[in-house]
Chain A
């Protein structure tokens, strides 16, 4: 059965595309799928760092496309998580080093051996973006609940719709329920009101993401991480399971905290 190629994009930089790609890719492997993670951010590669695999890079995507090596030689098998493979980007070239046609061929070669191919798209709408979407079947758009990110996401959705991506899905990242409650942050409905696409998941702001990035261990593998839990759910949804949205309101009120400290509740 042919694998599915999903591009993770956003328009705006810094909203969590790489983190999302690493976590949903690893999340899918944790439920038994064989996943290829492709870093399409040539020149500013990050996916290798977030996955903790930078020391194992010998060949990269540009080498494969230029014929300097075979695809299998460039793919790094993650020894910690069964089923995760990484195709890193080149750090010394830039986005003109690859064409959309080459990316499409690469994706077609990958989908033969993998259940899912997750493409980490660079920020922007230029060549890097065009390359990243060239071989993809579906698109996942990541945005944070901020006006500027939503504006850029809307632009990207418009571009994707013009390229016949019929049903892009949304991940709302770094949401802070306490700020939403105070009215200081957009909530899910405000974002969907503008973007009008299906919601794939909501990921809460979580300090553990910073820790996991620095350690090179995706938060999805950490049972204590709220963001990790959200990503685990998203992976299951991608695989077709209907998983209800997490209850994000677990932030403790004062009395709750006091009771807990006094031993009156767990």
Chain B
């Protein structure tokens, strides 16, 4: 039974491209290129999640497929390969100022990656991950892992209505909540790097809050 080199599914959050784990990489690339060229109107501007389907792609292969997607005018927002490294897409686009808005909860097991900023209007549940080249803002409970400034920007910030991440990363610095009984935060808070440490401050709307950036 022949299987498709890649399956393209429509979901309410955009398209999901799932790569076949066995078929040779070159075949998959040609297949996708053909599909995108055949329907430019449909694919142009579409938001895409790329699933590697359990196959291990080399850096070159990852770059190739991500560039293929970008070239055809699609917007790649997530790569689901379950690995813990900084996704190529984020590394290759430092200083990106675009913002990704998600109007849904991010559930356990999901990873959202974006070279620019990420804004989630919803909760980020434990077991999920946000990786942004820029800032992260969660209008809800942030209970998963948030990594802002993933391409090395230590001026990035993480803000949430309820900041209760399992782990917080800004730039190359990792921080976790203190051991001991959980102190529930009931106010919005902002995390940023000050003097080489991740510091969490209450967000006070009256006080004009500025990131500790050299250039604004």
Contact = CB atoms under 8 A, between A and B. Distances in A.
Interface of A: 151-152, 154-155, 157-159, 161-162, 164, 193-194, 196
Nearest to A161: B107
B16 interface: yes
A151 B11 contact: no
Interface of B: 11, 16, 105, 107-110, 123, 125-127, 141, 143
A152 B105 CA distance: 15
Contacts of B110: 158
A154 B108 contact: yes
Contacts of A158: 107-110
5 contacts: A152-B108, A157-B107, A164-B11, A193-B141, A196-B123
Contacts, number: 31
Contacts of A151: 108, 126-127
Contact of A154 (B16, B107, B141): B107
Given A155-B108, A158-B107, A158-B108, 19 more contacts: A151-B126, A152-B108, A154-B107, A154-B108, A154-B109, A154-B125, A154-B127, A155-B109, A157-B107, A158-B109, A158-B110, A159-B109, A162-B16, A164-B11, A193-B141, A194-B123, A194-B125, A194-B143, A196-B105
A155 B107 contact: yes
A194 B126 CA distance: 9
Contacts of B141: 193
A25 to B, nearest CB: 28
A162 B14 CA distance: 11
